[in-house]
Every structure is written in C-alpha cells, then in structure tokens.
Chain A
C-alpha cells in the first residue's frame, strides 16, 4: 500500500496538468468554434504553407 504515497500525488499532478491545459485552451478561444474547426481540416486552402 505504500506505493500510494507516490501514486496519489502523481495522479493529482497529472490531473492538474490537464486542468491547466484546459484553462490555457479556454483562454486561447479554442472552444469558440468546434464545428468550424472540424470542417477547416477538410479544406485544402493552406495545405502548402500556413496562412500568414
């Protein structure tokens, strides 16, 4: 059972990382247009180089 002393903090830390990543995505507006993002990947407009 002693392994829990390591595993619980590790799981909390990893979960916390996910939470921070979510905050970052939220702030960057990545959830503003889910339908659009799903469709944008299908078009061939900026396949060669990214939009400047």
Chain B
C-alpha cells in the first residue's frame, strides 16, 4: 500500500545522470525473441566506435558502451537498417527505474523476511501440532532469536515512514503496521519469558514479509517523476550569437536585452522572441504551434523562441528575452496546469484513510474492554496484539500493487510505459479523449501524394531540384520520387523561397534547332512562382515560363490510429481533435479519420484552456499529444499519453509513454485500466470480508497464532491470485 503517498518523497535522481564513458541507452519496443537479441547486439557491435552492447529483453532496451563521439542517432539508424525501431533514452532518468539502490534494498529486506518467516513457520509447526512445556518454550526462544534481529532490519521502511507521519502529526498506513509488528513481537517475547502458550513471532514476520512484497511491487511501478516545467526550460538554447557593430560574439541568452540583434544560423533554434531584421528563411513552428507547414520569415516577420530556422541565416531584433519569451510562457502554463491539477487520491489512499484510524480504535477498544473485564493487563495487551495482527493490512497492502504490477506488465508487453503509479486508476475514469493531430495521430513527416500524375520530365526536374535542398518537403520528395534526376546547373537555394536552377534539355528532345537550350526551373513556395496559395501542404514546380504545378503533401497516419479511435469509440468515449494547424487541413483530416468535434488553430494556452473547460464541465479528459504546444494541455488533463517520438518535455508531462510507433495500445490501455480498477475493488472486498469474519474472533479472544497465520496467508494469496487474472 502506498503509505508513502502521504509523504511523496522524490525518487533520487540516479548518480549516472552524466553519461559515463559514452554510455548510451536505447529503447527497443519491437524486440521479443532470442533472434532479436542476437541481431540487435551484432548490428550494434558492428557499428564503428561501439565497444560493447547488451540487450535487456525484460526492459526492452539496450545498453551500449561506445566512444564519446558516437551519438544515439547513429545507432538508431544502424538498428533501423537491421529492421528494429529504436529510440534514445536518457540513461540518467531511466536507470533510476530498474536496478536502482532503493528497489535492491527492499528486495534484500524481502529476502531476509522470507528466510526468517520460513524458519519460524517450521518451528511453529511443532508448536501448532501440540508441543508442550520446555519443547514449546525452546521453539519460542529460537523463533525469538531469529525474529528479533530480522524484524528490526526488515521493518525499517515502515518504522521510518510511521515515525515521519507521527512527527508531522497525522496517521498513515505505516503507523498501524509498525504498531502491530512491535506490539506482537513485544507481547510474544513477554509471553515466552513467562512460558506462555501463544507467541505471534510467525505472524509478525509473515506480516512484514507480505507487506514488503507489496511495498516492493509498489516501488517498482512508481517511476521517477520529474517536473515538466524544469525540463521545458532546459530546452531553451543557453547561448546566442549577438551582432554588435557587425562583429559576432557568443553570449549567454540571459545577457540579451531587447534591442540587441542576434544571428540565427540555418538549423538553429531561435533563442528569443523578436522581429526579423535581415535575411529570408523558413521556420519550423511545428513544436510550438503544431503547424505542419514551415512558415516564411522575412524582414519584419515576428519569430518566437523555440522555433527552428530552416534555410537561411536570419538576423533577429530582440523584443523579448529570457523569462519574457513565449517559450518561457509555455513553461509557466505547464507549471500552472500542474499545480491546478486536482491531486488525485488513489484507491489505496482512500482505503488507508478508512483503515488506519479504524484499526487503532478497534484494538484500543478491545484492550480497554478486556482490561475492564479481567483487570489483567497481560490478557488485554495480548488481545490488542491479536486484533492488530488479524486486521493486518496484508491483503490491503497487496491489493493495489499486485494489480498495478500485473496490469502495467501487460501494457509494457504491448508497448506502453506507465510513468505514474496512479495513472492506471485515473485512466479508468476517463470519458473524453483529446488528440493532437501533427505528430500524434499522424507521423509528422510529410509524404508527397499524386506523384504518378506528373510527366516523366516534371518528375526528373523536381527530383534534381529537391536533391539540392535540405528542406523537409524537398527531402520527402527525394524519398518519394525514384529514377534518374535531370542534370541541372547553377543550382541555388533561395532562403525562404525555394530552389532554382538552369535546366538544359538535350538537343534531341527539344528537337528543331539542335542547340542547347536553358530554362530556369524553380521549386518552392506558391508566392515565389506566382501561384495561388492552397490550404494544404504543397510546394510548386515551375519549368521556364510554364504554369506552376502543385506538388501536394499529406501527413501519413500513424499506424494503429484508426484501431485506437475505433476501440475508444466502441467504449463510448467522446473523442475530440485539437490542433494548432490551419482549419482546412484539420477539418479534412478529422473527416477522413472520423472525428466529429474539432478545434483548429489552437494556441498552447487555448489547448490547456479547452481541457480545463472540459474538466470544469465534469469530464475526465485523456490528452494524447506530442509537441511543445501540447505540454500545458498534457499537464492539465486528468491523465495523458505521449508517443516515444514526442519532445522530452511532452513525455515528461505525460503519465504514460507509447514506446513504439503504434497507437493501438491506447484503446487496449483503457480496457486494461478498467479491468484493473475492477480487480482492485474486488481485492478490497476480499480483504474486507476477511476482516469482517476474523476481527470478531480476535476481539472475542479466540484467535490463536495458527488461525492468524492461516487467515493472513489465505487472504494475501487470494488477493495476489485475483490480480494475476489480469495477465
């Protein structure tokens, strides 16, 4: 049971936050067999600069020792060549979730508790089967010798938490647990000294064992949670190139003031909000606004921090820097959304709130009652210990972690990582799903359409031109068009507009004159070639003075998107699409995929506001998004999911991460979450029924150590088996 939820202690960041010896971590969502291990390891070890690679199939990831100059991108492409999808992981963050010291410590205590429990049970069998007199006393003394040191060591996590709660002046689950353990051991020791009949050493240690098992499972499911806002701020470029009297100097972004002029080179992220002073280029706003089409930026255009400059160098007049930039305002939005998110009380905590005071009152009433009845403190304390042990929260302690472990294991095999312990419970309550478009329902990579309608000449010229540019649309054309390219000369890229070149057709083809003929050919924006700008992603090809031909692009649908939508709708959920993209593109896409409710051209703040409005209207919202513009919405939603390809900041802000390309696990996750919640409730019912039967027996003074041991084991095992039905 997550008693620690009362005192959320931050999971310590792993020491290995700084990469050691070029150690890289890759997530491999698609591996599943021995052949995969061999192929992945062979591919990685064959890559230049890699010293060793080791696949972990359980966690579906690979750890690679490589030279410092080997980057994760190199290895991802090596694995793509071998047929495996791979994503980079931050070793510092993810190392904290597996073989970390905390989990190992709990496992160690669990092993000691298990060892002590088995031995004491063995000795107890002799007592239960009727050992008398000195034999019974000897068994009790040996049990005490094993249990006393074991209980001091293994129960430490509970004592520490209970002490912390008591000092802060409130109760948590660990208080009755610690009290039960200590009181049971104390009275048993006293009984043993007086050669008494009943000693609860076995019950005390098995209680600790079952609770530690629950605590360990709980610990493993809780991954390190970091503040999304901090991560976002880290995305800002720390340095900028300032132009002063024509001289370039590199300065920290913090030192920039409005009025400065900064130079942003192609491929660089814009560090400030400002107006373009000189230069033409195109900027990629996808991360900030969700627009799928790169936008033109020329003198006088406003640009904002976080956008990426694509084609030409830009000089930007700073209007806002540092804390005043729009990027920083998004970080603020996230912080506000996170603080505004109503703190979810998990089912476990709800149960704990009822349980902890209830048990204390029961035990106290039993003790006082028996004392008044018999005027014998020894009997009264024994009864109180029996009540505490019998009402033992083993079943409660295992009820939630056993289910979440089984459920998250099942989802992990389907390709979904659960980052937050209560995410599953929250997902089960969801009635509204909001999707982002670009990069979430689509892959975020443009694909040319209708290429077969182009003549051979047009295709060849377009390919020749496209090869001369690194613009995303040009790159998409290069992949889409096959065959030879036309030979072009004087190829040049006009920043912000497109590519142009001189195309010399062969004399044979041009025919009559038989002399070389040159024509200017252009590939670029509508305005540049004199065409009407369409509302879809498009670029234009113009040959000589001919009419410009549109090459349109579509963003291909993410695999599993249709299945996910169908699955969610089949469950009666309301589905919405909110995108920062232009109205036409969003509406057409929504019609295609079958979503009725659409909100287009939404700014980051609009998205978060819409989620908040839905929540205020009583809806429990699941947000699925990937961009910087989605982070505030992700943090504001009841529960959130982002794909592995999403920005760090978005992944950090969300509760679950899809490991692969496929969206289909979302529908599955909802199913599993609903089933998991049902199992948790069943487990609580089992635990309650058991208490309703056992507590009166304990209060009446009929409980024996054998009965306590049997009841405790039976309830814990029933609860665990019930959880396993989820697998």
Contact = CB atoms under 8 A, between A and B. Distances in A.
Contacts of A39: 33-34, 37, 57
Interface in B393-413: none
A26 B107 CA distance: 9
B178 to A, nearest CB: 24
Interface stretch (B114-122, B579-587, B673-681): B114-122
A1 B118 CA distance: 21
B58 A23 contact: no
B703 interface: no
B31 to A, nearest CB: 9
A11 B727 CA distance: 36
A34 B409 CA distance: 14
Contacts of B112: 19
Nearest to A38: B57
A33 to B, nearest CB: 4
Given A15-B118, A33-B56, A36-B55, A8 B111 contact: no
Given A29-B99, A36-B57, A43 B119 contact: no
B56 A45 contact: no
B35 A43 contact: yes
Interface residues of B, number: 26
B58 A34 contact: yes
Interface in A1-27: 1, 4, 8, 11-12, 15-16, 18-19, 22-23, 26
A48 interface: no
A43 to B, nearest CB: 4
Nearest to A8: B142
Interface string B111-150: 1100100110011000000000001001000100010000
B135 A40 contact: no
Contacts of B104: 26
A32 B58 CA distance: 8
A1 B58 CA distance: 49
A11 B34 contact: no
A32 B99 contact: yes
Contacts of B56: 32-33, 36
Interface string B65-107: 0000000000000000000000000000000001100001001
Nearest to A43: B34
Interface in B32-46: 33-35, 37-38
Contacts, number: 53
Given A1-B135, A42-B34, A36 B146 contact: no
A40 B37 contact: yes
Nearest to B138: A4
Contacts of A8: 123, 142
Contact of B119 (A11, A29, A35, A40): A11
Nearest to A27: B104
A43 B33 CA distance: 10
Given A15-B115, A19-B111, A33 B35 contact: no
B146 A12 contact: yes
B548 to A, nearest CB: 56
B59 interface: yes
Question: Which of A4, A11, A19, A33 gathers most chain B CB within 10 Å?
Answer: A33
Contacts of A40: 34, 37
B57 A18 contact: no
Contact of B115 (A18, A32, A42, A43): A18
Contacts of A35: 57-58
A43 B34 CA distance: 6
B108 interface: yes
Nearest to A5: B138
Instruction: Give the interface centre of B34, B135, B142 by most chain A CB atoms within 10 Å.
Output: B34
Contacts of A11: 119, 122
Given A11-B122, A15-B118, A22-B111, A36 B37 contact: yes
Nearest to B41: A45
Nearest to A41: B34
B134 to A, nearest CB: 10
A39 B37 CA distance: 8
A4 B55 CA distance: 49
Nearest to B107: A26
A27 to B, nearest CB: 8
Contacts of A22: 111
Contacts of B138: 4
Nearest to B123: A8
B58 A33 contact: yes
B606 to A, nearest CB: 44
B115 A16 contact: yes
A33 B55 CA distance: 9
Nearest to B115: A19
A23 B57 contact: no
A11 B678 CA distance: 43
A33 B62 CA distance: 11
Interface in B10-58: 33-35, 37-38, 55-58
Given A11-B122, A36-B58, A45 B108 contact: no
Contacts of B38: 43, 45
A17 B687 CA distance: 36
Contacts of B118: 15
Q: Which of B55, B58, B118 has the most chain A CB atoms inside 10 A of its CB?
A: B58
A29 to B, nearest CB: 6
A36 to B, nearest CB: 3
Contacts of B108: 23, 26
A29 B111 CA distance: 15
B119 A12 contact: yes
A23 B111 contact: yes
A42 B107 CA distance: 29
A49 B146 CA distance: 46
Contacts of B123: 8
A51 to B, nearest CB: 9
A40 B135 CA distance: 51
A12 B98 CA distance: 32
Contact of B37 (A1, A26, A34, A43): A43
Interface of A: 1, 4, 8, 11-12, 15-16, 18-19, 22-23, 26, 29, 31-36, 39-40, 42-43, 45
15 contacts: A1-B135, A11-B119, A12-B146, A15-B118, A19-B112, A22-B111, A26-B104, A31-B107, A32-B58, A33-B59, A35-B57, A36-B37, A36-B55, A36-B58, A39-B34
Interface of B: 33-35, 37-38, 55-59, 98-99, 104, 107-108, 111-112, 115, 118-119, 122-123, 135, 138, 142, 146
Given A23-B108, A42-B34, 10 more contacts: A12-B146, A18-B115, A19-B112, A19-B115, A34-B58, A35-B58, A36-B37, A39-B33, A39-B37, A40-B34
A-B pairs, 4 with minimum CB distance: A36-B57, A39-B34, A42-B34, A35-B58
